[in-house]
Chain A
């Protein structure tokens, strides 16, 4: 019995002494919800995390093109590969399964913003200005995301809380688009107020007061033209764009320089890319969506390899004749043509063609696609200014600003005469936009804003009444609806 006692004592001692019994193991290499949102550093980390998601949201799956360019019908398949779902966008025959109808990545981005807006106000900062700046970025990005949601889908769910627990209301219905616009207006106002003014060419990949004003201009122009906002909204737009033009952004004399240099002083806002930040796990030289534009090496005859940009990836996309024949002027007339598009004869028959924008960089023989995506450039500031002034019936000011862009393009002063009518000025602005921003993810929403979708877009002619009049909206993806049955499909789809 004594032995048993001894052994039991030994046993208990060993258990309590030799073995660590702690079951509360906090992660060392990762951060949990309860340990985050304590310091200024956390806020800064969250800020860049949000921008990283911003980049993914726009670039992954070529969303920027699917959402904001494809439906104009200016695109077609490249040298290889099938059209697949793209065709449905190019032809405006979308349904609830079409690629790009899923808004998930925009809401992922919104959640990042919401969490910043929820926690950062309660974190103490050594520098109050920086705190405002962090909040300003979050307001800017949230305004952008909701604005795109409203433009593409119309009524969308409004979530403002940031999700952290399954006890929250996870299932939200679509709110009227007017409420979404109210949120967008409020957010962009906060962004303009809180973001600092930028110095051109410094860090265009972080939003600034000017970037926020560009967004504000775009929002109010849209509201004025598409949501019957009228002159009140136009004057908001005017205030915003005037503030942008006060800064010292420039137009590069050479159009190509706006794309070959990520720190060009023409860039007001861009999305940052770098191999170190998005190395592709599959080893493909994929980064920025421009990888779709260049030819696969197999399809480039040896004799042309020095001239024709190529990579190991497939050329999935190129501009369609519907675009190139209508909008591209000869290179001798418009210096933008050579940057937007190239087509040369292939010695073994046919032609080799490619979009000559966003070519990436050749690094030791391998093409890396890490050009920053241009969101706002000074050229657009001039064109916004022209659009606002023309809408406000200040046709001459409009033409003056339009000619800033035209002069760079054509090398001709006062390219557009003051004699143009208001409608002609609008048409000229839209045409310049379609050329100036080729393959930059602008055309679809531009054409809608100018109210020309059923005239300019071949596949939409005569289809005003299609999908119960909702043909210009996107359907909501099946996946979104099956996860949240409170979401009702866009009527007509």
Chain B
């Protein structure tokens, strides 16, 4: 029964056809890139490591062709190549070696361990640079760190791996990306999302297949980001997709399958405990409605058609099978009821599968990469799901030796089934009292208390809520080497995003009209860029490269939506059969960004490094006088280890670079037309269109500007042990903050967009990587990173009579205050009442401070004495000392954002077996869990309290053992023990998470080669395996909201099995 109810609309048939079509496309690409074999001789030899050990699995390729082989278990190889060709030997972690054949038939080589990848190219804005000469704070994450993460999302795969970058999984809805905050962000109230550029083009991070990615570069300091000017204050994430390599040809197939499960449950009391605690509480609460005892309620007496099950056992009746029974403490009769934990029923073990097939390779003329992927991820909450198809095709071809062209195409299609109002369901609905009915005889689940406190299973049964996204990028770029080293690179990119959302409610008891909604949105972006680069390679000891560029980005969004109701049947969820339209909506908006930029990279003798860049950005979002702004940056580096005086210590220090940077960036995250003020035409009255002023104009609005300084060093110690470390200290200051400044209520507007004030962020980042053990068969590598970030408000607009110019928060009569935003204080404080102690007896109660919020209703005398406290209530601490507890008496209870974050990876390799254990942590933040408080406090709403209430105060003396306030049915006394933000419900949210564990095995090549395969790898990978934290909610990773998990879908644990085949 249950199975049929919760199954979502099957899309299996469609999936199959899509896969088939994609596979056909893929084959076409493979076939069209055929290979040619030249005349040749046979060369044999052995590849060894520095230690002399044979190196199995090393790649031997003929340069400029697709011919290649791998060494066997003894490091030997055999290959056919022409007499004048060049062989390329390579192995992961080793420096590649090129050896001309020159008629030799035996070539033995020794590969050296790569010196910490200093020659590795790192993607910087509009170009690449060697790691050695980079002067800015850029972290690179290679594909190997992303690929085996068992999640289909790019950002989730980065969690904890980049120092100074906080990645928060605030929702467990399948397919949703995590939120990324680099170095604490830069703004007080505007978005802290970084700018995502995929192959140089700004697009949504969603629905990118992580396996298509070659590398991710995170640009953290302003010297690195200011080449992106106006949008770069929150850092930039550059994603480079894979491309083919000349002289290779690879086919790669990966399949993973596994499951996800609900991570952390909130422990609630049983149905029996609920009835035993709350029925007497209702009986004793004089002002409460006795309907809760006798009526069809969770605690009352129900019939077969009630959503609740509690009732008295009829005379001579057997207890129904599967039902529970207890003696009613109020009447002494026997109660029977079901005990249905909706958390258990809602959260399932969900499966995910992932297929990925790619081909890459190339010749002198053309390189190609094609990848197709399909992912299906069921949600841990019943009825939620994510399906995604992706295809990507990157082709680069040389027209002649001067001109080459690159074309990129990618397309993704995703479909998400999700709940419409997650906060309602996951903080409220899932906690409907356990006496709820599981299923009615007609197969529908119990529906829950009311429309806004509904059983999620019933919501899933009665609602259809599907979203799809189609995203495509088409890019074409050219490279013309006009004279040697002078390149002209024009490019054009087009991106389109189609979004659909369909919502339908079946006929149900709370609404019989079958309302439906349909939404179709389209977003398009065009970007044209022209780059002129001149690389003056090595004239003497000078190395100079300059860049000049122009960029034009245009975005337009068109949205259409409609709502209607009155469909005659549940079977047609579209609006065509709903005769009563209730809303029709369409809109259009656009924006443009025009930029001119230039950069100079200079190094002298590979020791003294200098970079300077400038960008002039113009945005249509700002007022006429303030459209353009200039963003400069400078950075310098000194490779100390390159100096002669260091040569004596090169056994200790193999590399040392110190660097310092300065740069400015901007943030334009205001509404597209916010500077112009808005009149909205969405206020109809009496059947006529009505128009109202909804935003106050501010034509003086301009960029938010962030200035950032960074000093750091990169240090490599003990060349043999390869200890690498890197340290950065930064200070950034944002001025002219874009801020929705609260206006006096008398103006009729809530707030206005203004540039006000300054805030400073500073912190450090440290990372170290050590190769602890490296023997022939066994290696152990540890990577550790830690980052500290703090902030301080420097300046706010003058507010007469207000200390520290505090905005929001609580302001005392003398002008001082607490919370909100104030000069000299940290951002993101959580404020609330501080519990002094639990009032235990009448003496304490009568000595307690007058509490302005307390109505003071005494259930015994039936009199309300305003301000009065009773035993079992919290006594609060005074902050504003006026002899009473009021809204002024609040304190900073904690901060929402951790000050310290980091992660540690241990990688072990034994022969073909690799084990990767990754943990990350966050320290210094708190969660004020008012959702938990709500569950414990509102017996009246028919919800199941947490096990906290089992410890509740009952009688004098209990305060010695508990701090849990007494159980109240309703709160007629308005003591608000559970409904005001308070220290009792504020938890330290520090955590360590076992984020990833991956165990992999490479089947030896001697076995795989027998079946014609280059590589076969199997692995098992887990994600979000366990949190160590004192916080008792779903997840300690909360995006800043009060309430557990921010009312979002709880995060989950994932385990998958993977098989990767290369041929």
Which residues on A are within 8 Å of B, measured CB to CB? 3-4, 7, 11, 14-15, 18-34, 36, 42, 44-53, 55, 77, 79-84, 87-88, 91, 93, 95-97, 102-104, 107-112, 115, 157, 159, 163-166, 170-172, 203, 205-206, 272, 274-277, 279, 282-285, 296-299, 301-302, 311-314, 346, 348-350, 363-366, 478-480, 482-485, 487
Q: Are A366 and B887 in contact (CB under 8 A)?
A: no
Stretch of B3-11, B794-802, B907-915, B918-926 contacting A (4+ beta carbons < 8 Å) = B794-802
A366 to B566, CA, bound (A): 10
Nearest A residue to B307, CB-CB: A298
- Is B44 close to A, CB under 8 A? no
Q: Does B37 contact A (CB under 8 A)?
A: no
Q: Is the CB of A93 within 8 A of B864?
A: yes
B981-1023, CB < 8 A from A = none
Taking a contact as CB atoms under 8 Å apart, the answer to whether B295 and A348 are in contact is yes
B452 beta carbon closer than 8 Å to chain A: yes
**Are the C-beta atoms of A21 and B689 separated by less than 8 Å?**
no
Whether B887 lies near A170 (C-beta < 8 A) is no
State in angstroms the CA–CA spacing of A349 and B452 once bound together. Answer: 26
Cβ of A42 and Cβ of B746 under 8 Å apart? Answer: no
Which residues of A lie under 8 Å from residue B513 when comparing CB positions?
Answer: 363-366
Chain A residues near B974: list those with CB within 8 A: 83-84, 87-88
Q: List 26 A-B contacts (CB under 8 A).
A: A3-B482, A19-B528, A29-B586, A29-B587, A29-B588, A30-B673, A32-B679, A32-B697, A33-B697, A48-B689, A48-B690, A51-B685, A82-B940, A82-B972, A93-B866, A107-B745, A165-B697, A284-B451, A285-B511, A302-B303, A349-B301, A365-B512, A366-B512, A482-B808, A483-B743, A483-B745
B319 within 8 A of A: no
Q: Which residues of A contact B746 (CB under 8 A)?
A: 107, 157, 159, 170, 172, 480, 484
In the complex where A164-B696, A349-B294 touch, is A274 in contact with B745 (Cβ < 8 A)? no
Q: A53-B683, A277-B684 are in contact. Are A11 and B289 (CB under 8 A)?
A: no
**A residues in contact with B811, CB < 8 Å:** 482, 485
Q: Which residues of A contact B452 (CB under 8 A)?
A: 282, 284
8 Å CB interface, B499-528 against A = 505, 509-513, 515, 528
The answer to whether A82 and B970 touch across the interface, beta carbons within 8 angstroms, is yes
Check A81/B940 contact, CB under 8 A, given A28-B589, A272-B686: yes
* A276 neighbours in B (Cβ, 8 Å): 581-583, 684
Q: Which are the 3 A-B pairs with shortest beta-carbon distances? A: A111-B748, A312-B510, A365-B512
Q: Is the CB of A111 within 8 A of B295?
A: no
Stretch at the interface among B102-110, B215-223, B616-624: B616-624
The residue in chain A whose Cβ has the minimal distance to the Cβ of B290 is: A350
Tell me how far the C-beta of B888 lies from the nearest C-beta in chain A, rounded to whole angstroms.
9
Closest to B686 in A: A272
Residues of B with Cβ closer than 8 Å to A? 287, 289-292, 294-297, 301, 303, 305-308, 421, 449-452, 480, 482-483, 486, 488, 490, 505, 509-513, 515, 528, 530, 532, 550, 552, 554, 563, 566, 581-583, 586-592, 594, 618-620, 624, 627, 672-673, 676-681, 683-693, 696-698, 742-749, 752, 754, 799-802, 808, 810-811, 852-853, 855, 857, 864, 866, 886-887, 938, 940-942, 970-972, 974
How far, in whole Å, are A285 and B743 apart by their CA atoms in the complex?
A: 33
- Cβ contacts under 8 Å, A365 to chain B: 512-513
Rounded to whole Å, the gap between the CB of B363 and the closest CB of chain A is: 28
A-side binding surface: helix, strand, loop or mixed?
A: loop
Tell me if A87 and B855 are in contact (CB < 8 A).
yes
Given A11-B532, A349-B294, answer yes or no on A485-B683 (Cβ-Cβ < 8 Å).
no
Give bound CA distance, A26 to B687, whole Å: 28
Contacts of B294 in A (CB 8 A): 348-350
Q: Inside 8 A of B685's CB, which chain A residues have their CB? A: 48-49, 51-52, 55, 205, 272, 277
Known: A33-B697, A80-B289, A97-B853. A275 touches B582 (CB 8 A): yes
- Could you say which residues of chain B place their CB within 8 Å of the CB of A487? 744
Are B684 and A48 in contact, CB atoms less than 8 angstroms apart? yes
Complex contact A348–B296 (CB within 8 A): yes
Q: Are A298 and B679 in contact (CB under 8 A)?
A: no
A31 B940 Cβ-Cβ under 8 A: no
Interchain CB contact under 8 A, B511 and A50: no
The answer to whether A296 touches B450 (Cβ under 8 A) is yes
Known A27-B676, A107-B748; contact A14-B490, beta-carbon cutoff 8 A: yes
Partner pick for A82 among B490, B530, B971, CB 8 A cutoff: B971
CB distance from A207 to the nearest CB of B (A): 11
> If the complex has contacts A14-B530, A478-B887, are A346 and B421 also in contact, measured as CB distance less than 8 A?
no
Which residues from chain A contact B800 at a C-beta distance below 8 Å?
485
How distant is the Cα of A31 from the Cα of B683 in the complex, in angstroms? 13
B683, A79: Cβ atoms under 8 Å? no
Give the shortest distance, in Å, between A8 (CB) and chain B (any CB): 8
A19 touches B552 (CB 8 A): yes
Task: Give the chain B neighbours of A32 by CB distance below 8 A.
Answer: 673, 676-679, 697
**Residue among A34, A109, A115, A349 facing the most chain B CB atoms (10 A cut-off):** A349
**Which B residues are in CB contact (< 8 Å) with A314?**
450
CB of A427, distance to nearest CB on chain B (Å): 29
Q: A88-B974, A350-B291 are in contact. Are A483 and B687 (CB under 8 A)?
A: no
Contacts of A84 in B (CB 8 A): 971, 974
Contact A163 B678, CB 8 Å, known A31-B691, A46-B692, A82-B940: no
User: What CA separation (Å) do A27 and B305 show in the bound complex?
Assistant: 54
Residues of A within 8 A of B676 (CB): 26-27, 32-34
Report whether A112 and B421 are in contact in the complex, using a CB–CB cutoff of 8 Å.
no
Is A30 touching B678 in the complex (CB atoms < 8 A)?
yes
Known: A44-B688, A82-B971, A283-B505. A7 touches B482 (CB 8 A): yes
Q: Which residues of B contact A108 (CB under 8 A)?
A: 748-749
Question: Assuming A48-B691, A312-B450, what are 20 further A-B pairs, CB within 8 angstroms?
Answer: A11-B530, A14-B490, A14-B530, A23-B619, A23-B627, A48-B684, A81-B941, A83-B972, A107-B748, A111-B747, A111-B749, A112-B692, A205-B686, A283-B511, A297-B510, A299-B296, A346-B295, A348-B294, A480-B745, A485-B802
Counting chain A CB atoms within 10 Å of each CB, the highest count among B618, B672, B689 belongs to: B689
Contact of A164 among B677, B687, B852, B887 (CB under 8 A): B677
Give the CA-CA distance A487 to B800 in the complex, in Å: 13
Tell whether, in the assembled complex, residue B512 and residue A31 are in contact, meaning their CB atoms are under 8 Å apart: no
Instruction: Decide yes or no: A102 and B745 within 8 Å by CB, A44-B688, A97-B887, A350-B295 being known contacts.
Output: yes
A298 CA / B511 CA spacing, docked (Å): 13
In the bound complex, how far is the Cα of B305 from the Cα of A19, in angstroms?
Answer: 67
Q: Which residues of B contact A170 (CB under 8 A)?
A: 743-744, 746-747
Contact for B289 among A24, A77, A272, CB less than 8 A: A77
Check A312 against B511 for contact (C-beta < 8 Å).
Answer: yes
Chain A proximity of B326: nearest CB distance (Å): 20
Least distance between A319 CB and chain B CB atoms (Å): 14
